[in-house]
Amino acid sequence: MAVIECVPNVSEGRRQDVIDRIAGALRAVPGLRVLDVQSDATHNRSVFTLAGDAAALSAGIPVLFERALADIDLRTHTGEHPRMGAVDVVPFIPIDGVTMAECVELAKSIASTVAERFGVPIFLYEDASSNPARKNLEDIRRGEFEGLAAKLAQPGWSPDYGPASPHASGGAAVVGARMPLIAYNINLATNRLDVARKIAAAIRMSSGGLRYVKAMGIPLEDRGIVQVSMNLTNYEKTPIFRVFELVKREAERYGVNVLESEIVGLVPAAALRQSVEFYLQLEGFSGAQVLENQLRSHPEA
């Protein structure tokens, strides 16, 4: 069965009763799993981690909008985090047995449903957007809720779905599809911050490096070493092993060794398989050969 992750960001991080009502409504949707709810009072924002197939998410996301729009009013909302809507961002992320193209179609279908049902303008972003000027979340959200009416009136900023004016209390939402992020760090056996920074600059896209790498060099002061701290935004196209090998090669040029690397948080199994296949020169291997996957495909009778 296809597994799609969905990580909606909602503009409420202080009123626990509101957050609980949203989570409760999502948990009641058949086939939808609520994996995690993280709320931040300073940001006044909550992040829900959901998983399900297309049907479960098509049923669940309208429920999310209904509950959030009933309880959240952006006209009185304050918080550190930039935001444009009560339901602010809704990314769909392919995990297992589903393509990015299918997640894009799902994002568009749900965006269309929600825009029509609730009168909320919706912008598509990342892989769901075909407009290069409207792929990046920060570009779309610039001006926030307070500048939304003016933004919607500008040329090039009519929404992909829904009315060309904000929902009075709920603003607008940004809906799209993206690959899972991998937070990946490589620690260097040196205290030379300049080396970590030069390597970060060499490997990140913004300064000429690999397409799906964001990187910076930082000190780990308590350990007396430095780190190349990274976000990998598309492990299929820029795999972990290639990043590791390139960092190792760049470090050599300064006479520095890689001490270790670390994956922070979650990583898709496919990203690990890629690295095994590269280093062991594995041919003809598939995820179906992983014993645990066989167990999962034979549920209890």
Size of the site for its own copies (CB under 8 A): 49
Part in contact with its own copies (CB under 8 A); list of ranges 77-85, 146-154, 209-217, 281-289: 281-289
Q: How far is the CB of 102 from its own copies (least distance, A)?
A: 17
Which residue matches tokens 């701290």? 229
Q: Considering beta carbons, is residue 37 or 149 the nearer one to its own copies?
A: 37
Least separation in angstroms between residue 186's CB and its own copies is 8
Give the distance, in angstroms, between the CA of residue 69 and the centroid of all CA atoms in the same chain.
22
Q: Point out which span in 27-35, 124-132, 206-214, 220-228 binds its own copies (CB under 8 A).
A: 27-35
Examine residue 78 and tell whether it contacts its own copies (CB under 8 A): no
What track of x and - describes contact with its own copies for positions 184 through 223 (by CB under 8 A)?
A: ---x------------------------------------
Question: Residue 81 catalytic?
Answer: yes
d(CA 198, CA 200): 5
Closest CA to 37 of 59, 57, 20: 20
Closer Cβ to its own copies, 106 or 181, answer by number: 181
Residue of 16, 31, 75, 252 interacting with its own copies (CB under 8 A)? 31
Rule CB under 8 A: is residue 266 a binding residue for its own copies?
Answer: yes
The full DSSP string for 32-72 is -EEEEEEEETTTTEEEEEEEE-HHHHHHHHHHHHHHHHHH-
Contacting residues for 283 by C-beta, under 8 A, at least 6 apart: none
Q: Tell me how far apart the alpha carbons of residues 203 and 180 are, in angstroms, rounded to a whole number.
A: 20
Question: Cβ contacts of residue 225 below 8 Å, gap of 6+?
Answer: 187, 188, 189, 190, 191, 219, 259
- Name which position in 25, 198, 241, 246 contacts its own copies (CB under 8 A): 241
Q: Is 260 in the site for its own copies (CB under 8 A)?
A: yes
Burial 273-301 (b: 16+ CB within 10 A, else e): bbeeeeeeeeeeeeeeeeeeeeeeeeeee
- Ramachandran angles phi, psi of 193, nearest 5°: -60, -35
Contact pattern from residue 88 through residue 117 relative to its own copies, giving x for each residue in contact according to CB under 8 A and a dash for the rest = -------xx---------------------
**For its own copies, which residue of 35, 101, 153, 164 counts as binding (CB under 8 A)?**
35
59 belongs to the binding site for its own copies (CB under 8 A): no
Closest CB 299 distance from its own copies, rounded Å: 8
| Residue of 43, 77, 81, 298 with catalytic role | 81
Buried b (16+ CB within 10 A) or exposed e, 221-260: eeeebbbbbbbbbbbeebbbebbbebbbebbeeeebebee
CA angle 90/96/102 to nearest 5° reads: 55
Distance (Å, whole) CA 25 – CA 23: 5
Binding flag, residue 263, its own copies (CB under 8 A): yes
Amino acid at 214: K
Residue 291 touching its own copies (CB under 8 A) = yes
Catalytic residues: 81
The residue ranges that bind its own copies (CB under 8 A) are 3, 5, 27, 31-35, 51, 95-96, 180, 187, 240-241, 244, 258-263, 265-269, 272-273, 275-276, 279-285, 289-292, 294-296, 298-301
